[in-house]
Amino acid sequence: MEEEEEEEEEKMEEEEEEEEEWEEEEEEEEEKEEEEKGEEEEEEEEEEEEQEEEEQEEEEEEEEEEEEEVMGSICVLGWRTNQIVSQSDQFLQGSLVTSII
């Protein structure tokens, strides 16, 4: 009887130890999964930040191109205006000369 009780106790102890080991392994796996999730989230955040920076750079480049285009248009308008004024001056000078004659 005593031997049977001892064997049962040993079996129970072994089962408890196995259960504890199993629980520890399960906890370690959960921790690893959480770490991996955390790393994945960090990578996703970094990718999002990089994408936002690229978009911002593209927007800035587009704005600069638009500004250059506008400035070019202004320069052309100024040049054209100078031509018109110059032609007007020549016309007025010609009118004065003819009216004096």
Q: What pLDDT sits at residue 96?
A: 60
Q: What pLDDT sits at residue 82?
A: 84
Span 40-90, pLDDT tens digits: 889 999 999 999 999 999 999 999 999 988 888 888 888 888 888 888 877
Could you tell me the pLDDT band of residue 95, with boundaries at 50, 70 and 90? low
**28 has a pLDDT exceeding 90:** yes
Which residue in this structure is represented by tokens 């921790």? 31
- Please list, in sequence order, all residues whose beta carbon lies within 8 angstroms of the beta carbon of residue 68, skipping any fewer than 6 positions away: none
Q: What is the mean pLDDT of residues 16-30?
A: 92
